[in-house]
């Protein structure tokens, strides 16, 4: 009686599931981004016919550039926090490739949403564009604090936006690290979740929230 190895079958099934999962993500992105893509193409053709394509690109850069940079920075920090959380729990992303891909996509979406919610692109553009006005020595100055007009028009709004972004980044990174580390610690401890009758807050060890050096660093 011939023995058929099961390992190649399991690996083939996992590869097919990963491929189907990737195709499903691409299909969802195309579905929800169809309106955006259509609007982008129409605007591009219209501005090209008007001969103002450079102006259109500059408008896009001013509108989405600051948000994209903030989203990229937030994604890097959140990805590091998530990876450190798994390492803190005694595991790693390499051991779960499908989960790693899903987590990367989710972190990208969360980073873009949070960046769009906390960053005002025009405030950032006005801050850098108004630096020349702020450096005028003969301009108006506040009689109390001796601050120029550009400080109140450009600097204060910009640093307010920057503070909101940093606070949101630190809070989300700390929560992500703690939740991911506790979840994977439980995942390694509990062998069969079907046997768990109830989950108590004691399982999550709330007293150890600041045990990690990463969270204390944030």
- Quote the pLDDT of residue 89: 84
Q: Is the dihedral of CA 118, 123, 129, 130 positive or negative?
A: negative
Stronger pLDDT, 139 or 6, i.e. the higher one: 139
Per-residue confidence (pLDDT) for residue 196, from 0 to 100: 52
Contacts of 158 (CB under 8 A, 6+ apart): 123, 124, 126, 127
Q: Flag whether 132 is in a domain.
A: yes
Identify whether 38 is part of a domain: no
Residue 117 is predicted with a pLDDT of 93
Reply yes or no on whether the pLDDT at 59 is more than 70: yes
Residue 14, in any domain of the structure: no
Specify if 157 maps to a domain.
Answer: yes
Query: Taking 60 as the threshold, does the pLDDT of residue 10 lie above it?
Result: no
Domain count, the chain: 1
| Residue 113, pLDDT score | 93
* Residue 74 structural domain: 65-217
User: Could you tell me if residue 160 is inside a domain?
Assistant: yes
Q: Does 59 fall in a domain?
A: no
Whether the pLDDT of residue 16 is over 70: the answer is no
Interval 102-121: pLDDT, tens: 899 899 999 999 999 999 99
**Mean pLDDT over all residues of the chain?**
79
Q: How many CB atoms lie within 10 A of CB 66?
A: 22
Assess if residue 182 is contained within a domain: yes
Q: Which of 13-17, 150-154, 157-161, 211-215 has the highest mean pLDDT?
A: 157-161
Percent of the chain surpassing pLDDT 90: 32
What does the pLDDT average to over 171-178? 94
Q: What is the pLDDT of residue 31?
A: 76
Looking at residue 19, what is its pLDDT? 64
Instruction: Provide the 10 A C-beta neighbour count for residue 107.
Output: 20
Q: Confirm whether 181 is domain-assigned.
A: yes
> What is the band of 41 on the pLDDT scale with cuts at 50, 70, 90?
confident
pTM given for the model: 0.72
**Cβ–Cβ < 8 Å for 150, 130:** yes
Query: What does the pLDDT read at residue 34?
Result: 78
CA distance 181 to 197: 22
């Amino acid at each position: 009686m011939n023995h058929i190895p099961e390992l190649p079958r399991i690996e083939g099934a996992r590869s097919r599931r990963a491929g189907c999962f990737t195709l499903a993500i691409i299909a969802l992105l195309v579905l929800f981004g169809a309106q955006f893509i259509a609007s982008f193409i129409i605007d591009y053709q219209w501005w090209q016919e008007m001969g103002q394509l450079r102006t259109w690109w500059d408008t896009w850069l001013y509108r989405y550039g600051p948000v994209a940079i903030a989203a990229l920075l937030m994604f890097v920090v959140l990805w590091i926090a998530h990876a450190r959380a798994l390492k803190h729990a005694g595991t790693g992303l390499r051991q779960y490739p499908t989960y790693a891909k899903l987590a990367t996509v989710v972190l990208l979406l969360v980073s873009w949403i949070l960046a769009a919610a906390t960053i005002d692109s025009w405030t950032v553009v006005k801050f850098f564009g108004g630096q020349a006005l702020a450096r005028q020595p003969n301009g108006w100055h506040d009689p109390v604090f001796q601050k120029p007009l550009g400080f109140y028009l450009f600097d204060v709004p910009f640093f307010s936006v920057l503070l909101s972004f940093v606070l949101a980044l630190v809070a989300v990174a700390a929560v992500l690290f703690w939740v991911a580390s506790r979840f994977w610690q439980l995942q390694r401890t509990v062998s069969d979740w079907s046997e768990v009758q109830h989950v108590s807050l004691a399982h999550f060890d709330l007293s150890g929230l600041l045990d990690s050096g990463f969270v204390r660093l944030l």
